[in-house]
Amino acid sequence: MNQDDPKRLQQLFDRYYAGQATPEEEEELMRHIRSGQQDVAIEDAMKRNWLQPAGAQPFFGASHSRDMLGSILAAGRERRHWRVDIWLRYAAVAAVFAVVAGLWVMRKTTSEKSVATEVIQNQDVAPGGNKALLTLADGKGIELDRIGSGLVARQGNTEITKQEDGLVVYNSRSASVASNGFNKVTTPRGGQYKVQLPDGSKVWLNASSSIRFPSVFPASERRVEITGEVYFEVTKDKARPFTVRFNGSEVQVLGTSFNVMAYADERVSKTTLVEGSVAIRNKGERALLRPGQQAALMPGGRIETAFKPVDEAVAWKEGMFYFKNAGVKDVMRQLSRWYDVEVSYRGEVPVRQFTGRVSRNVNLSGIVGMLRYAGVKCSVESNTIIVEP
């Protein structure tokens, strides 16, 4: 069978879409997408899977479905009103667009047909990286990304060192905290960092985040305070419970791995348990989490728990964006923090939802190109993402 035959591409796409493709079939499909030579056939496959998803009865008639498809694909057309969440259940359009658009980002083509060429020249923005400021107990600030490996500072009986891979390690020989005070590690927008605390626990800070902790933990407890988003791998110590404070709430653990997302510009704070067990407390409410569960702190203090994909919560730590039914503003908040850019909405915010993974290591033009490919009119101007209806 001709490998460039549209029927073959449709078959590959159908099997990938249904989760039945073999590794060889997946790689074959990815080659076609990366090449950029089969865009028309790939788009046709997307449309057919959207309008007639395998194994499901159409929720809308063919005419209505085509109108919806045209509404999303055509920029500037009058916006239709429909229940996006219900439509996604039957069409899985967000997954289809994100798979194709996310892979599109990896293309090496310089063709004038590439959507990325519509991004204003010389306005591209590189992805974030390892950047952080360490503030010692005496107020001295050290830019961790600007110093080499070796000894960073001494505080009493504690030595702070930076390893070759960038990890900052606290080595303490004393259980007295009184003379050592508190330290703070802060990442800027467009930054991330990894630190090993005095008890051996490791923390990963996402962009625009911070963690405050004693340079030596006392003998009875371990307490830290965070802002933004932090992933923890806590060293087990039954004699010293580990407590994380954020936004008036507490997470208590003995030894476990979990992620806390508590950005000030997000509507809810979320704690996701990877392994072990944690208890979360907020304004008199308490919830005990099991692995795979997520606790969302709602406005007013209520705690809602549910099982959520762990990969979604910790993808940032592995260098990925993970969107699950994410709206345009949800996506833009993450891009703003990681690329250190502003976002300007000129008019009504487009109604879209995205599901899929995209590397955090691509330039901003790649992500903007993906969004344009999926029907969101946006561009980059003077370190600002401009989003239009």
**Structural domains of the chain, ranges and CATH numbers in brackets:** 6-90 (no CATH), 129-313 (2.60.120.1440)
Sort strands 342-345 and 384-388 into parallel, antiparallel or unpaired: parallel
Distances (CA, A) of 205 to 79, 194, 212, 252: 39, 6, 12, 19
CA distance 92 to 73: 15
pTM value is 0.71
Helix ranges (H only) for 259-387 are 310-314, 328-339, 364-373
Task: In whole angstroms, give the CA distance from residue 3 to residue 67.
Answer: 32
Three-state DSSP class for residue 329 = helix
Query: What is the pLDDT at residue 17?
Result: 62
Alpha-carbon distance values, 162 to 147, 149, 174, 329 (Å) = 9, 5, 20, 37
Query: In Å, how far are 40, 329, 355 from 71, measured between CA atoms?
Result: 18, 19, 19
Q: Report the pLDDT value the prediction gives residue 14, as an integer from 0 to 100.
A: 76
Measured between alpha carbons, how far is 189 from 133 in angstroms, rounded to an integer? Answer: 12
Angle, in degrees to the nearest 10, between helices 93-104 and 6-17: 120
Residue at 79: amino acid letter: R
The H or E element containing residue 289 is strand 285-289
**Is 127 within 8 Å of 384 (Cβ atoms)?**
no
For residue 109, the model assigns a pLDDT of 35
Instruction: Say which residues have a Cβ less than 8 Å from residue 383's Cβ, sequence separation at least 6.
Output: 123, 125, 340, 341, 342
pLDDT, tens digit only, all 389 positions of the chain:
455 577 888 888 777 766 677 878 877 877 777 666 766 777 676 666 544 444 444 333 444 444 434 433 332 333 333 233 323 333 333 334 444 444 443 333 333 334 444 444 446 899 999 999 999 999 999 999 999 999 999 988 889 999 999 999 999 876 554 446 899 999 999 999 999 999 999 999 999 999 999 999 998 999 999 999 999 999 999 899 999 999 889 999 978 999 999 999 999 999 999 999 999 998 888 999 999 999 999 888 889 999 988 989 999 999 999 988 899 999 999 999 999 999 999 988 888 888 888 899 999 988 888 888 778 889 999 899 999 98
